């Protein structure tokens, strides 16, 4: 039943992607197809509400364990009318293996050549939420943090975050561990938005959202992704 539901959702996404405005470039069409799936948690701090698609757009998976996505910027000094960053993640070790910035210099042939070379199937993806059930198991995600350093004079702190994927049957496993510089007293700034399911294997990509630096009163919002296999690497609780 789960696979059938995923297939139906996948086809609906592809239909939306295919009927997007043909006057836009491929990244813009993918972003338009992804709109409406999530409103940014901290949108009240911005001049207007932001759709997740304005800052992050999934582009597709490959059978070689790669995931492609585009990053947008809510705070930028650029005068470009089109600004995006293409990134491709290796899902086995969470390394970004390709990064390319576009500022009014997007070329369709070059973009599709990059995706083709890495075997990326450029299809619209659906953002799913935790917890979820699959193959008789229930998966959830936990985010824990500890304060490593506090600078009271400048009202700042350094926190270490750990993201765990939790399986009711198999226990939990560490997906990511990283440090973040934050305004002092603002707990749990880093959060998990949801995940994307690979159509090629039993693996998901977890999407996180958090604060970046500030530029002339605008606080940047940062999105990162982490691959996690659903069938191995767990430790019994």
Q: What is the pLDDT of residue 39?
A: 84
Using pLDDT thresholds of 50, 70 and 90, give the confidence band for residue 48.
low
pLDDT (0 to 100) of residue 9? 42
Q: What percent of the chain has pLDDT over 90?
A: 53
Domain boundaries, the chain: 2-117, 132-229
Average pLDDT over residues 89-102: 95
pLDDT at 99 over 90: yes
pLDDT score of 137 more than 60: yes
Cβ contact 17:27 at 8 Å: no
pLDDT score, position 75: 79
Q: How high is the pLDDT of residue 82?
A: 80
Reported for 215-224, long-range contacts at CB under 8 A and 24+ positions apart, including other chains, are 215/75, 215/76, 215/77, 216/75, 218/46, 218/74, 218/75, 219/42, 219/45, 219/75, 220/73, 220/74, 220/75, 221/40, 221/42, 221/50, 221/55, 221/74, 223/52, 223/55, 223/56, 223/71, 223/193, 224/176
Q: What percent of the chain has pLDDT over 70?
A: 80
Mean per-residue pLDDT, 173-186: 76
More confident residue, 127 or 73: 127
> When comparing pLDDT for 1 and 115, which is higher?
115
Q: Given this model, what pLDDT does residue 217 score?
A: 66
């Amino acid at each position: 039943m789960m696979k059938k539901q995923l297939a139906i959702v996948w086809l609906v996404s592809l239909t939306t992607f295919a009927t997007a405005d043909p006057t836009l470039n491929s990244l813009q069409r993918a972003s338009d197809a992804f709109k409406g799936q999530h409103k940014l948690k901290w949108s009240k701090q911005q001049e207007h509400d932001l759709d997740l698609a304005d800052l992050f757009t999934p582009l597709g998976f490959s059978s070689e364990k790669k995931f492609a996505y585009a990053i947008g910027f809510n705070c930028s000094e650029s005068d470009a009318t089109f600004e995006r960053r293409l990134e491709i993640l290796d899902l086995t070790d969470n390394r970004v293996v390709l990064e390319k910035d576009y500022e009014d210099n997007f070329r369709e042939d070059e973009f599709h050549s990059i995706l083709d070379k890495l075997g990326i199937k450029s299809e619209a993806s659906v953002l799913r939420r935790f917890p979820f059930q699959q193959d008789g198991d229930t998966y959830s995600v936990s985010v824990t943090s500890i304060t490593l350093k506090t600078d009271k004079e400048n009202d700042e702190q350094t926190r270490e975050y750990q993201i765990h994927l939790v399986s009711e049957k198999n226990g939990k496993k560490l997906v990511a561990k990283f440090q973040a510089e934050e305004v002092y007293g603002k707990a749990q700034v880093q959060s998990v938005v949801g995940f994307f399911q690979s159509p090629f294997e039993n693996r998901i990509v977890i999407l996180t959202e958090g604060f970046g630096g500030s530029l002339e009163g605008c606080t940047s919002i940062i999105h990162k992704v982490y691959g996690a296999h659903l069938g191995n690497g767990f430790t019994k609780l």
